[in-house]
Amino acid sequence: MASEGTATASPTEKKDGGAGRGLTVLLTGAMAFSMLQLFLLGALGPRLVTELGLSPALLGLTTTIGFGTAAALSPAGGRIVDRIGPRRSLAALLLLSAAALALIGAAPGAGLLLAAVALGGVPQALANPATNKAVLRAVPPARRGAVTGLKQSGVQLGAFAAGAPLAALAGGIGWRGAVWTAAAAALLTGLWALRVLPADPPAPPAGPRTELVPRGMVAWLAAFSLFLGAGIASVNTYLALFGAQRLGMGPTAAGALVAVLGVAGIAGRVGWSKAARPGRAEWLPGWLACGALGAAALLGAALVAGPLVWVGAVAVGVFAVSGNAVSMVLVLQRAAPGRAGQDSALVAAGFFAGFALGPVLFGLLAQSGRYGPGWLLVAAEFAAAAAVAFLWAVCDRRRGTERAA
């Protein structure tokens, strides 16, 4: 049995070479479906506000409930993944994603919609630890940064799917039909995972109880992710509604903003993850958060010069959403043996907590049409993320110097 961190040649690898294109595609799809509901609710926000009678504040509450659930379950989710293995974890998250999307499509009003997004928090809690565990088990160390960036880009692939093909599909068959199409795709991907992934190894002996409080580097990355997630979630949830309500865009064009953000995020996550080599990776989160701060300023400036909203959406994708991918590369580089699932989950818990809090605060401002102060709030959240990241990098370098001496 291969231990964690030791790559073995799976059937997929032998066929495709390296990490295996099939494995990479599957991990990318799992990340996309785990958070697809977030992007669908944002991209379809103008339609949901009109057809279900949701207020902007209630639209933000859907994100809060989904990611609040994910944040609460993430520490336990990491422990579960470490115990049952990546194959069963990936299949479970895909099938649960399909169920949550199907319920969203069937929701007659706010009650079932909120219950469905709470269910969708479960696959979100499993996604990072399950995919990171699969990378450690099957991917050689030299390839892990690149593969991690590719699979993390799946989240932004979900943003593109929600903002372009699914939003366009909603214009033809209705938003419910578009959401059910996404649910069917998640179901098929889950069945594919059960078919092609190798069996999980036997569960390891029971270890110490799951730590609920992150420590060391994990604590710093969780705090960084909290502020970063708060800003990103506000953009994801309200960007399309901002375009429709304040910039005069139609529902399809407003949804395309989310698609543009998604495409930029794919490029950013892949590129920055490849660049996140030891010695450089520690400083990247801070610089990416600074870029995200500039992106928030561009969104605010769009109130005066509307076309800047497109530039701001690209910048959010290139800088803000890439920060989480670099965090996961750092976890894989530094996790102790047997700890990758738990450490990934604790960092993800901070990210999801930010996703839960950010839209609530932004929603209070959007409810009264105060998008200018809303984008200032997002800028402040990104600035706080940058401060945390740089402070950790300085402390980490100092500790490294002391150990070398």
The model's pTM is 0.74
pLDDT digits (tens, 9 = 90+) for 89-135: 999 999 999 999 999 999 988 889 999 999 998 998 898 888 888 88
For residue 20 the two structure tokens come to 């295996």
Please spell the DSSP secondary structure of 115-142, one letter per residue: HHHHHTHHHHHHHHHHHHHHHHHHS-GG
**HSE toward the beta carbon, residue 158, CA cutoff 13 A:** 31
pLDDT digits (tens, 9 = 90+) for 251-307: 888 888 988 998 898 888 888 888 888 888 899 999 999 999 999 999 999 999 999
In the predicted structure, residue 335 carries a pLDDT above the cut 80: no
pLDDT (average), residues 193-221: 72
pLDDT value of residue 162: 83
- Alpha carbons 45 and 310: distance in angstroms, whole number: 18
Q: Percentage of residues in the chain with pLDDT exceeding 90?
A: 36
- Alpha carbons 181 and 164: distance in angstroms, whole number: 14
- Domains of the chain by range and CATH? 18-198+210-404 (1.20.1250.20)
For residue 324 the two structure tokens come to 């989480």
pLDDT (average), residues 363-388: 94
pLDDT value of residue 2: 42
